[in-house]
Amino acid sequence: MASAITHRDEETPLVVTDESPLQLQPHKSHSRDVHILSLAFLLIFLAYGAAQNLQSTLNTEEDLGTTSLGILYLSFTFFSVFASLVVRILGSKNALIIGTSGYWLYVAANLKPNWYTLVPASVYLGFCASIIWVGQGTYLTSTARRHAIDNNLLEGAVIGDFNGEFWGAFALHQFIGNLITFALLSDGQGGSTKGTTLLFVVFVFVMTFGAILMCFLHKRSGNSKKGYEHLEAADAGESKSLKSLCRSLTSALSDVKMLLIIPLIAYSGLQQAFVWAEFTKYVVTPAIGVSGVGISMAAYGAFDGICSLAAGRLTSGLTSITSIVSFGAFAQAVVLILLLLNFSISSGFLGTLYILFLAALLGIGDGVLMTQLNALLGMLFKHDMEGAFAQLKIWQSATIAIMFFAAPYISFQAVTIVMLVLLCLSFCSFLWLALKVGNASSLSTSE
């Protein structure tokens, strides 16, 4: 017992107070940083998410809106290859702050949308999105690890808890953003839309506040070696080299664990694009009209947020992650099967309720995948968190870009079949990973 207490004291940082100049106290700011990070992302993405949902409706001339989104996600995919190196050089906090500028510029470009404003903003946002998401995954995981060390808590449970809070708050951006859109936009004469300028001005102010919040985060090290003192050290030489980047990417793709996770990562991106591009267009609009898109996406966001928070609270290790992912995969499979069977309910209240039910199931599935994939990567790739989260965004953004460019040339039924097949394959790959890692853990424990 005495040795354990000594070890705890050695890892506790020194804090100078008025009462005692060398009093030992645990670090208290970890949860605070998670609250700030979650609120900042909520404010930034409630504006961006709503702007993204409106692109195909507002910027229809020469398909400017959808083309800009396709360019955005192609840029996102390209820059994600180098994102881990950039985040190592900048640090996760600086990457988060710089990353917000791209979202701000893209929303501001919608005040005067044309090929000379929206397309360059999309390319720059692709770069910013790559570093902000790698920075987010690295920052949140390192914060969770430090919190677990300071408070003698189970690392997996803390990672799951922090991811649950973040993704629960983040998922609400669809709910809040669509409500703001519904409140400020109205249909004008001749198919025009009133209130767009006011809407995007409000969004710019909201995003500015979110960007300011990022500045109040404490700096964190992405280094994930065990021990509090190692978390403070940054491997400034080797980790910031181009050679290190190439080694990180090749080692990730040669790692069996990463190869088994990639199909589920790809599906997580595909299902998001499916909701944005296909579900709202071919399921929601024909059933309950264009006005129903906002309501259905609000339901999607609400259940996404609730499920993210619940899934994070329930996460404690690989066994719990396997159970939660199984539930989420089942929820999305139900939706895809119902859509393939062309099952529908007559118009009216029940018809609207059915559409909201499908949106809720899709939100549940997205909430599960986002929380559990981030928690899983944080647990399995402690040695290279930046590289692991870069892989997450490379594959997600690539599948989203493919969906945006390919959807106009593929029927809705064909897209749904591809979704269902990929869901089955990715879930089987994930189960293989869970079995492989579980057996490895059992062997190491027995030895």
Question: pLDDT-based confidence at 401, cuts 50/70/90?
Answer: confident
CA distance 298 to 278: 16
Give me 164's structure tokens. 């649950």
> In this structure, which amino acid lies at residue 364?
I
Give me 388's structure tokens. 């692991």
What's residue 188's pLDDT?
61
CA distance 65 to 291: 19
Give me 369's structure tokens. 């995948």
Query: Is the predicted pLDDT of residue 254 greater than 80, yes or no?
Result: no
Mean pLDDT lowest among 111-125, 252-266, 282-296, 356-370: 282-296
Of the candidates 151, 128, 134, 168, which has an alpha carbon nearest to the alpha carbon of residue 34?
168
> In this structure, which amino acid lies at residue 378?
G
- Residue 257 is inside which H or E element, if any? helix 256-273
| Residue pLDDT, tens place only, 338-393 | 999 988 776 678 888 999 999 999 999 999 999 999 999 988 887 777 778 888 88
Q: Do 67 and 192 meet the contact criterion of CB atoms below 8 Å apart?
A: no
Three-state helix/strand/coil letters over 144-207: HHHHHHHHCCCHHHHHHHHHHHHHHHHHHHHHHHHHHHHHHCEECHHHCEECHHHHHHHHHHHH
| Residue pLDDT, tens place only, 50-80 | 888 778 767 777 778 878 888 999 999 899 8
What's residue 229's pLDDT?
43
> DSSP string of 61-126?
GGGHHHHHHHHHHHHHHHHHHHHHHHHHHH-HHHHHHHHHHHHHHHHHHTTS-STTTHHHHHHHHH
Provide the sign of the torsion angle of the four alpha carbons 108, 51, 83, 93, taken in this order.
positive
What's residue 153's pLDDT?
86
Long-range contacts of 115-119 (CB under 8 A, 24+ apart): 115/62, 115/64, 118/59, 118/64, 118/65, 118/68, 119/67, 119/68, 119/71
> What radius of gyration, in Å, describes the C-alpha atoms of the chain?
22
Give me 133's structure tokens. 């998401």
Average pLDDT over residues 262-267: 94
Q: Can you tell me whether residue 385 is helix, strand or coil? A: helix
Mean pLDDT lowest among 37-46, 168-177, 239-248, 301-310: 239-248
What's residue 249's pLDDT?
61
User: How many CB atoms are closer than 10 A to CB 400?
Assistant: 27
| Residue pLDDT, tens place only, 26-57 | 445 588 999 999 999 999 999 998 888 778 76
Q: Which residue has the higher pLDDT, 228 or 313?
A: 313
Of the candidates 204, 131, 160, which has an alpha carbon nearest to the alpha carbon of residue 371?
160
Query: Is the predicted pLDDT of residue 1 greater than 60, yes or no?
Result: no
Q: Could you give the dihedral angle defined by the CA atoms of residues 96, 360, 395 and 210, in that order, rounded to the nearest 10 degrees?
A: -10
Of the candidates 322, 308, 300, 312, which has an alpha carbon nearest to the alpha carbon of residue 367?
308
User: How many CB atoms are closer than 10 A to CB 162?
Assistant: 29
